[in-house]
Amino acid sequence: MEFLKKWFVPILLSICLLAVLLDSKTPTKVFEGDSSHETIVVSNTTESTAGQELVVSVLMKDGTVNEMPIEEYILSVVLREMPADFEMEALKAQAVVARTYTFRRMHIKQRHKNAHVCTVSSCCQGYWDPSDYLQSGGTEERIDKVRQAVMETAGTILVYNGKPIEATYFSCSGGYTEDAVAVWGSNVPYLKATQSPGEERAGHYTDTVQFSVDAIVRKLGISLNNLHDFRIGKITYTDGGGVDSIEICKKTFSGTQVRSLLDLKSTAFVISVAGSTVTITTKGFGHRVGMSQYGADAMALTGSDYQQILLHYYHGVELLSIGAFY
Ligand SMILES: [Zn+2]
């Protein structure tokens, strides 16, 4: 016992010193994207908080590139991408998703030559500078609420097998999200179809559009001698309730093709023909892969926190601090 008492502190200090030395030899962290050519090296820094000091270069609409701290950028993204009157836990989930998306664009899949991201929602993520937000009718209280969601999750991203995930999100699923393979043809283990209840208050929970047979034949590129011969054939469905394939006048289309050609809100649709009118009713709005924003808000309203929301929509992922990559 005397021996232990005498040497306990020196031995402990030696172990700590050894740990520090070993850690300083840890090689520069490397992570990979979906294929080997996307392997990116993130340089080591000595600061454990380096992740929160990241600077994002943002291509603005006027063509200039603004550099800003990542959390400042995420505030502007969340202001644009999710209504500030959504529940705090939904806003936090959105902040983590936006940050994860940004981190991937910075280190794995950069789309722009001189900037990490742009401010166009259909390309990267939407963006609302707080001053523009105020001029458009937003309030300081709403900005403060979104800022709280951003700062309380600062530096947190989603990873799968240690790599930042492709954190896709959309407005409303219509009750069930879609599997990535059904929309983009590639299997992504964390982007699986899952139920998403409580979205009924979303503006586009269901939508109905009508076409004349003449218009629909033109839009789909079908040649038909007699419009009275217009027929809907076999329809198959995806795990997420979307149309996987549909036979129209003996021509087979994928659900995503029909959505694109007819500019439908989603691939989850039912179609009917009465006389010379075709009626299509869709459920949900967007590609329906990943996190449903209205679904996230519904979960928050029933007591789920942002971590539970994220783990529901992204299967098997973990939350990790950006600092772990530096
Ligand atoms: Zn872009």
296/156 same-domain check: yes
Distance 111 CA to ligand 1 centre (A): 6
294/200 same-domain check: no
Q: Does 8 reside within a domain?
A: no
96/55 same-domain check: yes
52/155 same-domain check: yes
Task: Say how many Å lie between the first and final Cα of the chain, rounded.
Answer: 42
Distance 147 CA to ligand 1 centre (A): 23
Tens-digit pLDDT profile for residues 186-229:
999 999 999 999 999 999 999 999 999 999 999 999 988 888 88
26, pLDDT greater than 60? no
Number of domains in the chain: 2
> Per the confidence metrics, is the pTM higher than 0.85?
no
What pLDDT does residue 326 have?
76
Distance 123 CA to ligand 1 centre (A): 4
37, pLDDT greater than 60? no
Strands 65-69 and 55-59 turn out to be antiparallel
Tens-digit pLDDT profile for residues 224-244:
888 888 999 999 999 999 999
Strands 169-170 and 291-292 turn out to be parallel
Q: Does 32 reside within a domain?
A: no
Residues, CB within 5 angstroms of ligand 1 (ion): 111, 118, 123-124
What pLDDT does residue 29 have?
33
Distance 319 CA to ligand 1 centre (A): 25
222/203 same-domain check: yes
CA pair distance 52, 56, nearest whole angstrom: 11
What pLDDT does residue 226 have?
86
Confidence of residue 7 (pLDDT cuts 50, 70, 90): low
Average pLDDT in the 29-46 region? 37
33, pLDDT greater than 70? no
Distance 165 CA to ligand 1 centre (A): 18
Domain with 253 in it: 170-287
CA pair distance 211, 62, nearest whole angstrom: 38
Tens-digit pLDDT profile for residues 243-282:
999 999 999 999 999 999 999 999 999 999 999 999 999 9
Tens-digit pLDDT profile for residues 141-172:
999 999 999 999 999 999 999 999 999 999 99
> The dihedral of CA 315, 321, 324, 326: what is its sign?
positive
What are φ and ψ of residue 150, in 5° steps?
A: -70, -45
Report CA-CA distances (Å) from 290 to 183, 224, 310. Answer: 11, 38, 9
Burial 129-160, CB ≥16 within 10 A → b, else e:
bbeebeeeebeeebbebbbebbeebbbbbbbb
Q: Residue holding tokens 């394939």? A: 245
The edge-to-edge listing of strands for the beta sheet with 55-59 is 65-69, 55-59, 117-118
Q: Which H, E and C letters describe 198-248, residue by residue?
A: CCCCCCCCEEEEEEEHHHHHHHHCCCCCCHHHCCEEEEEECCCCCEEEEEE
CA pair distance 105, 325, nearest whole angstrom: 15
299/206 same-domain check: no
